[in-house]
Amino acid sequence: MQLNIKYKLFFAILSAHIIVYIAMYSLGRYSFDRGFLEYISRIEERQVPALVEGLSDFHERTGSWETLRRNPRKWLALVRSSIESANDPEVPTAVAAQRPVPGGSNDWYYASEYSPARPYLLLLDAQQNVIFGNAQALPLANLHPIIARGNTVGYLAVTSRQELSEQADLLFSQQQKQSFFLFAAILVMISALVAFPVSSLLVRPVRDIVDGTRALTRGDYNSRLAVRSSDEIGQLAEDFNTLAKTLDQNRSARQQWIADISHELRTPLAILQGEIESVQDGIRPLGPETLESFHQEVSHLSTLVNDLHELSMSDLGALVYRKETLDLGKVLEQTIDMHRQLLNKHHIRLTRNIDVPEGQTLSMLGDENRLSQLFDNLMQNTCRYTDEGGQLVVHVKETQNAIDIDWFDSGPGVRDEDLDRLFERLYRLETSRNRNKGGSGLGLAICKNIVEAHDGTISAEHSPLGGLRIHIQFPHRLQQA
C-alpha cells in the first residue's frame, strides 16, 4: 500500500523519538546497574572498620585465630558483635559476642542484602593464609590489616561486588528496569499523539499546493494559496501564486490576442466585401478610385498577415540572424534616406545628431537587415501617428559600453498608463495614436523582438516634443562572440 506523505512524516518523527527513547533506556539501565552496584558496595564497605576493630579486640583477648578456625559459627558471632557494637555503642563487643547466633535463614545476617556475612568476606592470618572464607575470591579482595598489640596479626579481605546477588537487590533492579520500560512506552505513546497532528500540520501546505496544482491543470488560474510562513514552503506557495497569476495573465493575453487578430483581419475583409458588393449591385462604379480602395485594403491585410507571421517566427526563434560587425550609423543613415520622401509627404522636420568622433564608426555586432527593419518600423510609426508639420529628432551617442539611440517625435502624446503597454501585440490606444491610421499594431512588438535578439533594451517615454520617445541601447561589441 502506498503511504501518503502525512503518514511517512508521522512514522519518521515517531521513529526518531523511538530511537532516542531506546538509547535513553539503554543508557539509563546501564547507569542504574553500575550506580546501584556501587551504592551497595559503599554501604557494605562502611562496616569494614567496625569489623576490623572487632577482630582486633578478639585477637587481643584470645591471642590467636584458632578458635575461629575450629568454629565457623564463632566467626559469624564475632561479625555480628562487631557490627552491633558499632551501631550501638552501649552494647559492648564482649556482651554482643555472647549472644547466640541463630541458625535459621530469617536472621538479618543472612536475609538482609546488606549483611556483612557474605561468601566474599575473608579472614586471613598474618601470612595471608585463609582462615575463614572462599579462597577463590582472594585475588579480587581488598586487604585491611588487623592490628593487635602493635603488630599485624591478620587481614580482613573484602571483595567489591561484581554483580547483584541478593534477592532484594535483584528485585529492586528488576522493578526499576520495568519502570524504565513503562516510562519509555508512555513516552512513545505521547510522541505518537503529538507527531500525528504535527505531521498533519506540516503536510497541510503541501496538500494545498497539490490541490492548487490540480486546479491549474483544470484551467482554474484564479486558484491562490495562503502563505502561512516565510520558509521554503512559504516561498513555494508564493511562487505558485506567481505562476497562477502569470498563467491567468497569459490566458487573458491569448484571448485578447485572438480577439484582436480576428478584429484586425475582419475589418479589411468587411470593407473589401462591402465595396465588392456595392460594385456588383451597381451602386459604385468599378473605376480607378474603387480599385485604389481595394488595393489599400489588400495591402493593409497583407501587412498585417506578414507582421503576424514575422512576429510568430521571432517568438519561435525561427528568424535567422546573420550577425556581423557593422556600422550602425551607416544603417541608420540609409534607412532615413529611404524615408526622406515619406517625411516630406507628412511635412515632418527631421533633425539627426550622431555623436561619434570624426573618423570613427558605431561598430557593433548585428544583422543589417533586421536593424534596417527596426529603424523602418520606427520611421513608419512616426510618419503614421505624428501630426502633419511635426518634428522628428534622432540622437545617437556612443558610450564606453553601449550605443544609445533616442527617437523623439512630436505630438500627439501617449497616456502614462499606455507607455508600458506599447510593445504588446495589437494593444489599442484610446488616443489619436491608434490603429485607425493604418497600422497593424505589431510594429513596436517586432521592434522589441529585434532589439532583444541583439541583447539590447528598448523602452518608451514621454517626448519633450510632445509625442513619444523611444530609447534603444545596444551593447558595444566589436567582435563576434
Q: Would you list the DSSP string of 364-411?
A: EEE-HHHHHHHHHHHHHHHHHHSPTT-EEEEEEEE-SSEEEEEEEEES
Percent of the chain clearing pLDDT 90 (strictly above): 7
- H or E element: which one contains 467? strand 466-475
- The pLDDT tens digits of the residues spanning 159-186 come to 765 555 555 455 666 777 777 778 778 8
- The pLDDT tens digits of the residues spanning 275-286 come to 888 888 888 788
What does the DSSP 8-state code read for residue 461?
E
- The pLDDT tens digits of the residues spanning 362-410 come to 888 888 888 988 898 898 888 888 888 899 999 998 888 889 999 999 9
- Mean pLDDT over the full length of the chain: 76
Q: Which three cell numbers stand for residue 266?
A: 475582419
- The pLDDT tens digits of the residues spanning 75-130 come to 777 777 766 665 554 544 444 444 444 444 444 443 444 444 454 678 888 888 88
pLDDT higher than 80, residue 6: no
| Residue 36: per-residue pLDDT | 66
> pLDDT-derived band of residue 213, with 50, 70 and 90 as boundaries?
confident
- The pLDDT tens digits of the residues spanning 231-245 come to 888 888 888 888 888
113 vs 300 pLDDT, higher one: 300
Q: Hey, what's the torsion of the CAs at 106, 107, 112, 115, to 10 degrees? A: -150
45 vs 232 pLDDT, higher one: 232
pTM for the full model?
0.47
**Spatial distance between the Cα atoms of 401 and 383, rounded to a whole number of angstroms:** 31
330 vs 10 pLDDT, higher one: 330
- The pLDDT tens digits of the residues spanning 437-457 come to 445 567 788 888 889 888 899
- Closest alpha carbon to 466 in 380, 392, 375, 383: 392
Percent of the chain clearing pLDDT 70 (strictly above): 76
